[in-house]
């Protein structure tokens, strides 16, 4: 750990201690009294009693008298944990608040279920942790574990498809989703802790089955949230706090799909745990480049693992360890019948159906967190995190040269370490203060071995003998942030959240910004909620994707860039406005309407340039994004349904960084014209519903889109598309087999063939078709 990390960690702890000291300021002498009994209410004599303060420090030890009573005098007013124990009866802990004046006795009961007691403490800490994450003024869409289980694929649904259930989320190829007209720009948090983003790839970094609840937070975000601001994907994981159990799941079907998953959870004393893992393979790893439903060379092997350990230090604090891994291998699918463009060793023929390009991806992360509360005004969480991510693209050394004139073996890796500290201090009934810091160090490595042909100034091949250019570099970068905010209850119906956030980056460029945030929530009735907000955003480019490669080393080759200009990629700065209303029309039906507008300078976007399927960021000097979202949900008895419709418009003007990726004709056109971003989709919709009859659940979900952009400078767009998935789930609970769920799933039930990408547009390298009709079945055994 470097000195910067130690300084940040120390500052976070000092800040938390300072707040704690403020809570317990103005010491006043008080008396703590209590009684210890067994489960039948009989007094327990000679029970040992230990008293701890809000910091976990033992302040007194005593024993009970014959009547089971004990007294501790001369302590300061505040919140304490009293732990009592007696031979044959075990131990129990109770929380009490001591105030000046006559003492109020409290009871500690021995012999009760220790697991239940641990559960109560864990739930208290969960509430304290969730209270660290404000949502005032933003738009929040919540998806629970029950919602996921009731969808056609259940927990086998990839996370990106789970997010498609939320409004304003547009579907794209390679497992991407775009929220409110932004490319990527999503921040993932697990149990409130930021997980640094991995290198963009085809696979999903997190397994859906670990989710207890996922919240997508968008709009004008409170000061707590920074760097990635299109949406906060806040994952609250399953845990072992509520009992022991687990499940085994087998899922498979079309495209030779087979996937096996398992999870296990439980607790023993103060320790609780949750572990999950998935292994699978299929022959549709990446969207097909042709309308053929069974693409050539598209096999994938994927695996995910996740672990969560939590230990209760005392009733007011716990330490937790989270770790996860995702390891994925993909074949790049082929398009048959494509003619070659170059000659290699006198040969100009190569069957494009036999190309052998592959990509491997690895993403590991771990988090160690200390989280607690003083049982009254102060909650805190301090976390150390680390993440290692790497992507390796392996070309076909012969075929790529003959088709593209370039065969590039690309290795990218990124290692991030950091500290995050968040605190909440309830000043009084009207004001809740929150503050925190974050520091992150990243080290990125780029190691590319590029085979090319000699070429003239117009790109014409001069020799059929290739040669190799090695292009390697590395860089260390730093991110710093701090925030402070106040959630002010102006009245019982009106809440204001206002704050400031400071962000600084020291990467390929140095930049910083002080960002004000303000959000307002007004609830005139229990059925109506209005919100509005403004946020100033500072968004650095994805450090793991930016490279300072020397373009000139490829001059005179078939990999020469059309433009030699390569201005550094800048952070995006934007003003964001959001306003919305949610109305409960009936006890079963709720509707919401939300509008947003973003005005940006150095608008960030990403594209796939070159033969390797790795994204590269660039800027538009000017940008604006705006839209409207309608969301509805219905739930009554055994029927539930949702419908989301969104309108969005995302445009940019004048590309002012990484220009070498573009042709001069596109650069000139975009310099003088507003163009649509490649991921702009004017209209998107998602819908779904479930109906349960006895032990049988009928379920469906679907998406509709007006088509992503295509053509020169994104001046065209693809046709409308729609996809509906159907499922039936049968629940069994029989003496011999226990609890078992069986499901049958039909993907793209109506067999509509549609194209997500046609290979044209800004930063689009290849066509991709959505999956055609496919049939899957799964069985889950719960224990």
pLDDT digits (tens, 9 = 90+) for 92-146: 888 888 887 777 788 888 765 444 555 665 666 676 666 676 778 788 899 999 9
d(CA 237, CA 322): 10
Does pLDDT of 691 surpass 90? yes
How high is the pLDDT of residue 20? 40
Does pLDDT of 597 surpass 60? yes
Q: Any idea what DSSP says for residue 397?
A: T
How high is the pLDDT of residue 610? 63
* Better-scored residue on pLDDT, 502 or 10: 502
d(CA 308, CA 324): 9
Does pLDDT of 339 surpass 80? yes
Terminal CA-CA length for the chain: 42
d(CA 722, CA 164): 13
782, 303 contact by CB (below 8 A): no
How high is the pLDDT of residue 9? 38
How high is the pLDDT of residue 550? 67
Enumerate helices (H) and strands (E) in the chain, giving the number of each: 6, 41
Does pLDDT of 706 surpass 90? yes
Stretch among 234-238, 242-246, 362-366, 595-599 having the lowest mean pLDDT: 242-246
Does pLDDT of 323 surpass 90? yes
**Comparing C-alpha atoms, which of 404, 547, 529, 539 is closest to residue 475?**
547
How high is the pLDDT of residue 12? 38
| DSSP per position, 655-681 | E-S-GGGS-HHHHHHHHHS-EE-TT--
How high is the pLDDT of residue 201? 75
Rounded percentage of the chain residues whose pLDDT exceeds 90 = 69
Phi and psi torsions of 736, nearest 5°: -85, -35
d(CA 454, CA 668): 28
Phi and psi torsions of 149, nearest 5°: -60, -30
d(CA 536, CA 220): 8
How high is the pLDDT of residue 5? 37
How high is the pLDDT of residue 117? 56
b/e sequence 160-193, b meaning 16+ C-beta within 10 Å: bbbbbbbbbbbbbbbbbbbbbbbbbbbbbbbbbb
d(CA 483, CA 224): 6
How high is the pLDDT of residue 55? 72
Those residues whose C-beta lies under 8 Å from the C-beta of residue 702, and which sit 6 or more positions away, are 686, 687, 688, 722, 723, 724, 725
- Confidence band (pLDDT; 50, 70, 90) for 18? very low
Does pLDDT of 613 surpass 70? no
**Statement: 3-112 belongs to CATH 2.60.40.10:** yes
Q: Is 401 exposed, middle or buried (0-12, 13-18, 19+ CB in 10 A)?
A: buried
Q: Do the two domains 3-112 and 138-782 of this chain adopt the same fold?
A: no
d(CA 594, CA 138): 10
d(CA 300, CA 295): 12
Rounded mean pLDDT, 331-336 = 94
How high is the pLDDT of residue 173? 86
How high is the pLDDT of residue 728? 98
- Pairing mode, if any, of strands 106-109 and 29-37? parallel
Those residues whose C-beta lies under 8 Å from the C-beta of residue 146, and which sit 6 or more positions away, are none
Q: For the chain, what are the domain ranges?
A: 3-112, 138-782
Q: Is 613 exposed, middle or buried (0-12, 13-18, 19+ CB in 10 A)?
A: buried
Stretch among 316-325, 547-556, 646-655 having the lowest mean pLDDT: 547-556
Those residues whose C-beta lies under 8 Å from the C-beta of residue 474, and which sit 6 or more positions away, are 443, 444, 445, 446
- Pairing mode, if any, of strands 29-37 and 169-171? unpaired
- Confidence band (pLDDT; 50, 70, 90) for 330? very high
85, 63 contact by CB (below 8 A): no
Does pLDDT of 504 surpass 80? yes
User: Token pair for residue 670?
Assistant: 């975009």
Q: Is 735 exposed, middle or buried (0-12, 13-18, 19+ CB in 10 A)?
A: exposed
How far, CA to CA in Å, does 544 sit from each of 201, 384, 388, 511? 12, 20, 11, 17
How high is the pLDDT of residue 13? 37
Does pLDDT of 530 surpass 90? yes
User: Token pair for residue 139?
Assistant: 């738009």
Does pLDDT of 272 surpass 90? yes
How high is the pLDDT of residue 561? 82
User: Token pair for residue 343?
Assistant: 């000659």
d(CA 601, CA 655): 11
52, 80 contact by CB (below 8 A): yes
In this predicted model, what pLDDT tens digit does every residue of 741-768 receive, in sequence order? 999 999 999 999 999 999 888 888 788 9
In this predicted model, what pLDDT tens digit does every residue of 172-230 receive, in sequence order? 988 889 999 998 889 999 999 999 888 777 888 899 999 999 999 999 999 999 999 99
How high is the pLDDT of residue 19? 37
Element (H, E) at 219: strand 211-219
Stretch among 17-26, 307-316, 463-472 having the lowest mean pLDDT: 17-26
How high is the pLDDT of residue 730? 96
- Confidence band (pLDDT; 50, 70, 90) for 28? low
Does pLDDT of 607 surpass 90? no
**Statement: 138-782 belongs to CATH 2.40.170.20:** yes
**Comparing C-alpha atoms, which of 769, 683, 779, 770 is closest to residue 724?**
770
Strongest mean pLDDT among 376-380, 555-559, 588-592, 656-660? 588-592
* SS3 assignment for 413-439: EEEEEEEEEEEEEECCCCEEEEEEEEE
How high is the pLDDT of residue 747? 97
Starting at the edge strand found earlier in the chain, the sheet holding 58-63 runs: 58-63, 48-52, 78-86, 90-98
- Confidence band (pLDDT; 50, 70, 90) for 616? confident
For the chain, the average pLDDT equals 89
In this predicted model, what pLDDT tens digit does every residue of 348-370 receive, in sequence order? 999 999 999 999 999 999 999 99
């Amino acid at each position: 750990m470097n000195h910067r990390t130690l300084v940040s960690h120390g500052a976070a702890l000092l800040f938390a201690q300072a707040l704690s000291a403020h809570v317990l300021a103005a010491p006043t002498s008080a008396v703590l009294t209590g009684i210890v009994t067994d489960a039948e209410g009989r007094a327990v004599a000679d029970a040992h009693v230990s008293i701890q303060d809000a910091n976990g420090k033992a302040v007194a030890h005593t024993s009970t008298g014959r009547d089971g009573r004990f007294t501790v005098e001369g302590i300061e007013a505040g919140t304490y944990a009293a732990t009592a124990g007696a031979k044959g009866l075990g131990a129990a802990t109770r929380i009490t608040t001591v105030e000046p004046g006559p003492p109020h006795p409290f009871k500690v009961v021995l012999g009760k279920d220790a697991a239940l007691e641990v559960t109560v403490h864990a739930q208290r800490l969960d509430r304290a942790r969730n209270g660290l994450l404000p949502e005032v003024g933003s738009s929040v869409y919540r998806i629970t574990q029950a919602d996921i289980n009731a969808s056609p694929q259940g927990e086998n649904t990839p996370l990106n498809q789970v997010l498609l259930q939320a409004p304003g989320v547009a579907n794209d190829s390679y497992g991407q989703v775009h929220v409110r007209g932004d490319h990527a720009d999503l921040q993932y948090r697990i149990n409130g802790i930021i997980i640094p983003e991995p290198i963009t790839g085809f696979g999903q970094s997190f397994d859906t089955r670990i989710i207890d609840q996922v919240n997508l937070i968008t709009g004008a975000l409170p000061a707590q949230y920074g760097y990635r601001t299109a949406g906060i994907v806040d994952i609250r994981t399953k845990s072992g706090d509520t009992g022991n159990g687990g499940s085994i799941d087998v899922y498979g079907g079309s495209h030779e799909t087979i996937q096996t998953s398992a999870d296990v959870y439980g607790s023993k004393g103060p320790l609780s745990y949750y572990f999950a893992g998935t292994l699978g393979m299929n022959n549709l790893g990446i969207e097909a480049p042709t309308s053929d439903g069974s693409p050539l060379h598209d096999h994938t092997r994927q695996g995910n693992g996740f672990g969560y350990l939590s230990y209760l230090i005392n009733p007011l604090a716990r330490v937790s360890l989270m770790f996860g891994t995702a390891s994925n291998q993909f074949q790049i699918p082929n398009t048959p019948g494509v003619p070659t463009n170059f000659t290699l060793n006198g040969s100009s023929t190569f069957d494009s159906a036999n190309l052998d390009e592959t990509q491997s991806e690895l993403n590991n992360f771990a988090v160690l967190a200390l989280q607690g509360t003083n049982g009254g005004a102060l909650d805190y969480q301090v976390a150390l995190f680390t993440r290692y991510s790497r992507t390796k693209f392996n070309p076909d050394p012969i075929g790529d040269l003959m088709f593209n004139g370039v065969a590039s073996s690309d290795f990218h890796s990124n290692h991030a370490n950091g500290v995050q500290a968040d605190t909440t201090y309830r000043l009084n009934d009207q004001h809740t203060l929150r503050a925190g810091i974050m520091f992150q160090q990243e080290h990125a490595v780029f190691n590319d071995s590029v085979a090319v042909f000699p070429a003239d100034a117009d790109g014409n091949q001069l020799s059929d003998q290739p040669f190799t250019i090695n292009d390697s570099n590395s860089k260390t970068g730093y991110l710093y942030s701090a925030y402070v905010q106040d959630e002010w209850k102006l009245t019982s119906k009106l809440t204001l959240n206002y704050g400031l956030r400071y962000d600084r980056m020291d990467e390929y460029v140095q930049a910083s910004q002080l960002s004000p945030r303000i959000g307002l929530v007004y609830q005139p009735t229990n059925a109506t909620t209005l919100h509005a907000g403004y946020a100033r955003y500072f968004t650095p480019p994805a450090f793991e994707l930016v490279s300072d490669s020397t373009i000139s080393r490829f001059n005179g080759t078939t990999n020469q860039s059309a433009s030699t200009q390569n201005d550094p990629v800048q952070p995006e700065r934007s003003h964001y406005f959001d306003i919305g209303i949610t109305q409960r029309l009936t006890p079963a039906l709720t509707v919401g309407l939300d509008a947003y507008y973003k005005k940006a300078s150095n608008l960030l976007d990403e594209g796939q340039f070159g033969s390797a399927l790795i994204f590269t960021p660039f800027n538009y000097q000017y940008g604006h994004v705006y839209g409207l979202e309608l969301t509805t949900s219905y739930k009554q008895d055994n029927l539930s349904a949702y419908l989301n419709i969104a309108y969005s418009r995302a445009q940019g003007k004048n590309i002012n960084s990484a220009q070498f990726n573009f042709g001069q004709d596109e650069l000139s056109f975009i310099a003088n014209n507003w163009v649509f971003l490649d991921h702009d989709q004017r209209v998107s919709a998602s819908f779904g519903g479930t109906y349960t009859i006895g032990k049988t659940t009928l379920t469906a979900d679907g998406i509709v889109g007006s088509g992503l952009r295509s053509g020169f400078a994104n001046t065209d767009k693809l046709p409308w598309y729609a996809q509906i998935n159907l499922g039936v789930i049968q629940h069994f609970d029989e003496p011999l087999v226990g609890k078992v769920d069986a499901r049958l799933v039909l993907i793209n039930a109506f067999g509509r063939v549609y194209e997500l990408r046609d290979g044209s547009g800004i930063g689009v390298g290849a066509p991709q078709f959505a999956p055609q009709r496919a049939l899957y079945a799964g069985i889950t055994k719960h224990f």
